[in-house]
Chains A and B, each alone.
Chain A
Amino acid sequence: MNEPSTQPVLIEFESVTKLYGKVLGVNDISLTLPQGAWGLLGPNGAGKSTLLNLLTGQLLPTRGTVRVLGQDPRNNPELMRKIGYCPGFEGLYSSVTGRKWVAFLLEMHGVRRREALERAEECMAVVGMRDGMNRPISNYSRGMRQRTKIAQAIAHDPQLLILDEPLSGLDPVGRAEMTEVLRTRIANGGSLILASHVLHEIEAVTDSFLLISGGRLLASGTAEEVHELLFDLPIEVQIRCDQPERLSGLVMSAGLADHVSLGRDQSGTRLLKVATRQTADFSAQLPKWIAEHNLQVNELKTADDSLQTLFNSLMKIHRGER
């Protein structure tokens, strides 16, 4: 694992498992992160929010221990002074202004009212909400609410910033601005954990990743290492046609596939799956085969997201299927 700094430990998870009844939130995660910026990358339902809730003390681990900045985060006022949290959902009060809301949350840190209002104003300006800060939150667009949430997370200048999908709902300009805010904080020595299911969002802020899926920590590393993994992985193409055996023979003969498999879907229709790294050649050749051999192709589908493919592959590795 690439350690971005040699500072004291930021987070320690020791065999942490969290169960919601019988549903697994996170599964036996052990990791130690030094201070710095970390991206938590995983698809929806991977356990990112559970992990963040464990870090902020909102949840107790079913097994194992969690330490943040060397302390147990559960009911720990001292630690809460050092943490800023921006959750993935909204949860803002609609009838108050953004400035007053951020100021109130600052006052809950013990900041005096006047100073809290001034500081709230500064932070709202930092996140680009100077013009809208005195309007009720009910009048905010989704992007404005997201900026306000980031403002409340940074207002008390925390040592560790924990952000769950902070760029969600922002337009491209907003994303660029907020990314810059986060990079500035990192440059000034702040630590950060940024959870997202979008690779390039995290890439823009940090180059240290944790990959999580199915409640498990699958891998960690830098952006280059993640891209290498992606590059190395074959793309899976799913084809529904009338002569899958013939097509599979053609693909294998041409040497364009890592492997092919024939099967049936739930409705009983035959299905051909081709895993290939030569997607350009394959795409060029397929229409020719269809025309020459009079094949009828009803459906052609690839994985929506290369990141999903990455996670699928990593899960297979974890299960020992590769």
Chain B
Amino acid sequence: MPIHNLGYRTWKGPLSSANSRWTVIAGIGIRRAWQSMWLRRIVFFAWVPGVIMAMLIYLFEQAIADGNPSAFAYSRLADMFLGRIDGDALRHNAYTAASMSQDLVQHRRQFWCSLLQALYQRSQLIMQIMVVGLTAPALISQDMRSRAFLLYFSRPISRTQYILGKAASIACYVLVVTFLPGITLYVTGVLLSPDISIVLDTWDIPLRIVGATITMVVPTTCLGLMLSSLTTETRFASFAWFAVWIFGLFSNTVTSAFVAIGGETPLEMLSLFHVIADVQAWLLDVRPDVELDVIGPLSVLITVTIVSLTILYKRVSAPMNV
């Protein structure tokens, strides 16, 4: 034949592992999310609280080095930035106790852990709520709406890989606003300390940070994805996401007032915000002197994760109307 008929040619080059295809989905999700100007701003500002906390560590460690706690304003700074959370001994951070103590070294570990817990509970968890609220609702709902499911699952991609890829898209940014500021705070605190012996006292804190981060990342990512899979309208998924937090927070506010006057209710478990904070307080060992009941909060988080994943799998596997 005079004309060289090339025709369709199969790919002869190397194929990546079948187990790594979720990384492609994750990569696209991450790049797409990064186009959002507001996400970039949140990620940028997520580091600010850590910087402020690092200054508090510096002042605290300087007070130890100088042996004169009352001469420094760190206790006032601690009160101003961190304050006291009324009504619950579990969340009573120890820095106020530490600031009144003459033996700062004794409370050093507790102070560091309390700052980390305050970092996570006061700022990073809120930023995480916003980050997931920005990234998660559209991830699966848009695929369902635009029939992109047909494109994904006409290729050799399993449901698990699809979900893993989508979850990784969210988890990447959540880690950037939670794990990285936490670990950076720790490293900065070490660098701002007068001597290296601080590492001997606080060597386990990075591991606790990992645990605290997992507590934040896993259930919230699963919940966000699950809500996205329930609807083709992104706004409903967004609303549901924020509703979970707002309803929980308000339930806790109202019932805390009740508890403060002597009533008892199990309603604190309704607030995912406080449930995560409780588990983190336990993981970060904020109050070693107090026996914390963490079974309830931990059960809630595990239940949320399992239920979310179950529903997510069912929704992703369900036949689609085309």
- Chain A residues with CB under 8 Å of chain B are 287, 290-291, 295-300
Q: Is B2 an interface position by the 8 A CB rule?
A: yes
Query: Do A295 and B6 touch across chains, with their CB atoms under 8 A apart?
Result: no
**Segment 170-190 of B: residues with Cβ below 8 Å from A:** none
15 pairs from A and B in contact (CB 8 Å cutoff): A287-B2, A287-B3, A290-B2, A290-B3, A291-B2, A295-B2, A296-B2, A296-B4, A297-B2, A297-B3, A297-B4, A298-B4, A298-B6, A299-B6, A300-B3
CA distance A157 to B6 in the complex (A): 56
Across the two chains, which residue of chain B brings its CB closest to A294?
Answer: B2
- Residues in chain A near residue B3, CB distance under 8 A: 287, 290, 297, 300
How far apart are A291's CB and chain B's nearest CB, in angstroms? 5
- Residues in chain B near residue A298, CB distance under 8 A: 4, 6
CA distance A245 to B277 in the complex (A): 76
Q: Is the interface of B mostly helix, strand, loop or mixed?
A: loop
- Residues in chain B near residue A291, CB distance under 8 A: 2
Of all A-B residue pairs in the complex, the 4 with the closest CB atoms, nearest first, are A290-B2, A298-B4, A297-B3, A291-B2
- Residues in chain B near residue A297, CB distance under 8 A: 2-4
Across the two chains, which residue of chain A brings its CB closest to B232?
Answer: A94
How far apart are B171's CB and chain A's nearest CB, in angstroms? 33
- Residues in chain A near residue B6, CB distance under 8 A: 298-299
How far apart are B316's CB and chain A's nearest CB, in angstroms? 22
Across the two chains, which residue of chain B brings its CB closest to A299?
Answer: B6
CA distance A58 to B170 in the complex (A): 36
- Residues in chain B near residue A300, CB distance under 8 A: 3
Across the two chains, which residue of chain A brings its CB closest to B321?
Answer: A138
- Residues in chain B near residue A290, CB distance under 8 A: 2-3
Q: Chain A CB within 10 Å — which of B3, B4, B6 has the most?
A: B3
CA distance A287 to B2 in the complex (A): 7
How far apart are A270's CB and chain B's nearest CB, in angstroms? 14
Interface string of B1-42 (1 = CB under 8 A from A): 011101000000000000000000000000000000000000
CA distance A297 to B5 in the complex (A): 9
CA distance A148 to B2 in the complex (A): 52
CA distance A295 to B4 in the complex (A): 10
